């Protein structure tokens, strides 16, 4: 299963390297969102620095939708899904491989967006360990969940509109928890908040494990319908 996963991840990342959709479309899209937040939320009032955590994760979340759509569309044309099924690759391996490829793209996206937030919003980066922990867990959860929902809508003709409707509410816990941990790391957390940073990290961890398990179980039957 793990060898299959690595092979599928390498295949998806090779396609991305050659097609450059992630670097030429998804990444610029996320940066455009950061700039648009700046236009919308008056930059003179220091509001952007205070809201940077939420805006950052919102930009990541919106970019994940594009990345997931892209990952699902790779299998949808030219009988690729049939070929994948006939190849004898473990469906759980396909799921883990696709999620891994999305996760690698997400890490790159998060690093670039992180620089964007520092430069554009005037955020002072601190608490790096906490940021890395939150980003790591959030990335695994988002990659797994987006791959699951990508497979759920993969065979439909309306997947472009259906994916955000299903995925964004499901991913809301990640947005909330990752934002709170980032707030804490940047020193902007609410004083006396009732929920500790450890609880939010646990939520991110539980979310990631849940969707990884769900994907491993469900991907086989869903791949049959794609």
Partner 1 sequence: MNESRSRTGSALTLGLGIAAWSLLALTIGLGLGLPETVEQDVYSRLIAVHPPVAWAAYIAAIVTAGASLVWLVPRTRSETADLVAGASAEIGVVFTGLMLATGSIWGRPTWGVWWVWDARLTTSALMLAVYVGYLAIRRVPDAYEVRARRSAWTAMAAVVIVPVNHFAVEWWRTLHQGRSLAQLTPGDDLDGAFIGTMLLGFVAMTLLYVWLLIHRVRVERMTSRLEDEALADAIEARRAEAVGAN
Binding residues for partner 1 (CB under 8 A): 148, 152-153, 155-158, 162, 165-166, 168-170, 172-173, 176, 194-195, 199, 210, 214, 218, 221-222, 225
- Which residues, 6+ apart, have CB-to-CB distance to 141 below 8 Å? 171, 174, 204, 207, 208, 211
Comparison of 113 and 179: residue with beta carbon closer to partner 1: 179
Nearest approach in angstroms of CB 132 to partner 1 is: 25
Nearest approach in angstroms of CB 19 to partner 1 is: 27
Comparison of 139 and 179: residue with beta carbon closer to partner 1: 179
DSSP state of 126: -
Sign of the dihedral through C-alpha 173, 174, 175, 176: positive
Comparison of 124 and 194: residue with beta carbon closer to partner 1: 194
Give the alpha-carbon dihedral of 96, 161, 206, 220, to 10 degrees: -40
- Which residues, 6+ apart, have CB-to-CB distance to 129 below 8 Å? none
- Which residues, 6+ apart, have CB-to-CB distance to 77 below 8 Å? none
Between helix 159-185 and helix 128-154 the angle, nearest 10°, is 170
Nearest approach in angstroms of CB 107 to partner 1 is: 25
Comparison of 63 and 222: residue with beta carbon closer to partner 1: 222
Nearest approach in angstroms of CB 111 to partner 1 is: 29
The closest alpha carbon to 189, from 17, 68, 52, 35, belongs to 52
Comparison of 99 and 109: residue with beta carbon closer to partner 1: 99
Nearest approach in angstroms of CB 32 to partner 1 is: 25
């Amino acid at each position: 299963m793990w060898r299959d996963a690595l092979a599928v991840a390498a295949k998806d990342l090779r396609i991305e390297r050659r097609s450059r959709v992630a670097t030429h479309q998804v990444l610029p899209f996320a940066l455009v969102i950061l700039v648009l937040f700046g236009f919308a939320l008056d930059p003179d009032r220091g509001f952007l620095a205070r809201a940077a955590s939420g805006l950052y994760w919102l930009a990541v979340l919106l970019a994940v939708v594009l990345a997931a759509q892209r990952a699902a569309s790779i299998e949808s044309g030219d009988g690729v899904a049939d070929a994948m099924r006939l190849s004898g690759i473990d469906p759980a391996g396909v799921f883990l491989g696709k999620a891994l490829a999305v996760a690698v793209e997400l890490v790159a996206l998060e690093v670039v967006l992180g620089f964007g937030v520092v430069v554009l919003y005037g955020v002072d980066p601190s608490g790096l360990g906490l940021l890395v922990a939150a980003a790591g867990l959030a990335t695994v959860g988002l990659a797994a969940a987006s791959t699951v929902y990508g497979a759920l809508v993969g065979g439909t003709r309306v997947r472009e509109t259906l994916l955000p409707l299903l995925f964004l509410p499901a991913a809301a816990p990640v947005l909330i928890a990752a934002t709170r941990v980032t707030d804490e790391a940047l020193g902007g957390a609410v004083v006396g908040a009732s929920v500790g940073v450890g609880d939010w990290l646990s939520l991110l961890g539980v979310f990631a494990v849940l969707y990884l398990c769900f994907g491993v179980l469900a991907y086989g039957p869903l791949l049959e319908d794609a």
